[in-house]
Amino acid sequence: MSGDMSIVGAAVTVQPTAPTIQPVKAVEVSTQSSATTAWPAGSSARAELRAPKPADLGFDPQAMRQNLAAAIDRLNEQMRSNGRDLNFRIDERIERTVITVKQAQTGEVVRQIPAEEILKLAHSIEDIKGLLFNEVI
């Protein structure tokens, strides 16, 4: 609070003065739709806003599947050459690895991971997935 003060006896009185108003400089606003940012007058710096370039992740799902199939083929060949009757494969419907252990003399399946019942259940779920959801999540 500003003003003139005068002392009258033991009391102090303050008489307010009117505030002074300073004129405001005019600001020019551009309605131009531009991708540049305007800097204050006299400034030589200008920046342009651009959308970022899309990131190239180098991910090719088709090449990845081919590499996985080649690796599985090499693994199966290695198992046969070592006298083991293990078979590795990818179940295309559920996109999971399936390992089958067979008896060498008879060819009978000793064990399968995941079990055949689990694969059938997974296939059933894949079949009804379209009924539960309209789109892939």
In which domain, by residue range, is 119 found?
Answer: 61-132
Whether 118 is covered by a domain: the verdict is yes
Largest CA distance in the chain: 124
Whether 117 is covered by a domain: the verdict is yes
Which of 72-84 are b and which e, b meaning 16 or more Cβ less than 10 Å from the residue's Cβ?
Answer: eeeeeeeeeeeee
pLDDT score of 105: 79
**Domain count for the chain:** 1
Whether 38 is covered by a domain: the verdict is no
Kindly provide the residue ranges of all beta strands, DSSP E only, lying in the chain, ordered along the sequence: 3-8, 11-16, 36-37, 47-48, 86-91, 96-102, 109-113
Please provide residue 50's backbone torsions phi and psi, each rounded to the nearest 5 degrees: -130, 150
pLDDT in single tens digits along all 137 residues of the chain: 445 554 544 555 556 666 667 766 665 655 554 445 555 555 555 667 888 888 877 778 888 889 988 999 998 888 888 777 888 888 888 888 898 888 877 888 889 999 999 999 998 888 887 676 665 55
Locate 43 and state its tokens.
């400034």
